[in-house]
Amino acid sequence: KLAVLDMYLHIFPPGRVRVAIYTAMGLNAAYAVVFLPLFLTICIPTSAFWSLDPVVHRNKCRSKHSQEYRLLPLLAANMVLDLAVVLIPLPSIWQLQLPPQKKLFVTLMFSIGLVVVGVMAWRVHTTLLYIRTLDWSYVLGTLALQTHLELWLGILAANLPLMGPLFTK
């Protein structure tokens, strides 16, 4: 996200959009500082997280109820930040002096990140659906697929605006 926001700094001129970009950068950095300790302390020691022993989970991990209320706001904040990164450049793009067809094409290239937000929503739904299970191996394959899909599409979305000349020639 920070790399995409940095790319926006190089593309868009100074003005209100820059304030939005720097704000999004600060919020993403703050999110990382808050998320990492909360995620790493779900179970102490961390290895208890993947233990199938219910006694270990009860004694070493926060309750599943506590995890839900801890993870849900974090996942929702991450989705909002992703959405903000996608939406920040759109008003500037719409103000460009371009033919409508090119403006639509540029908007679509910058909006491909909405697919990433959709995959993230799917992953959040799956996580919340199975958060109370002790056997994470049952759902881990689906979550791994969703996570990788989100990452791959995110990389594509981050690089697609720079590949515009490939599609126009």
Domain span holding position 17: 2-168
Residue 6 has pLDDT above 90, yes or no: yes
Distances (CA, A) of 101 to 8, 52, 87: 22, 55, 19
d(CA 39, CA 72): 12
Q: 53: Cβ–Cβ under 8 A, 6 or more apart, which residues?
A: none
**Count of helices and strands (H, E) across the chain:** 9, 0
Amino acid identity, position 60: K
Report the predicted TM-score, pTM, of the whole model to 2 decimal places. Answer: 0.77
Q: How many domains does the chain have?
A: 1
User: Which is higher by pLDDT, 73 or 22?
Assistant: 22
Going by pLDDT thresholds of 50, 70 and 90, the confidence category of residue 85 is very high
pLDDT tens digits along 21-71: 999 999 999 999 988 887 777 778 877 777 767 676 667 777 666 666 677
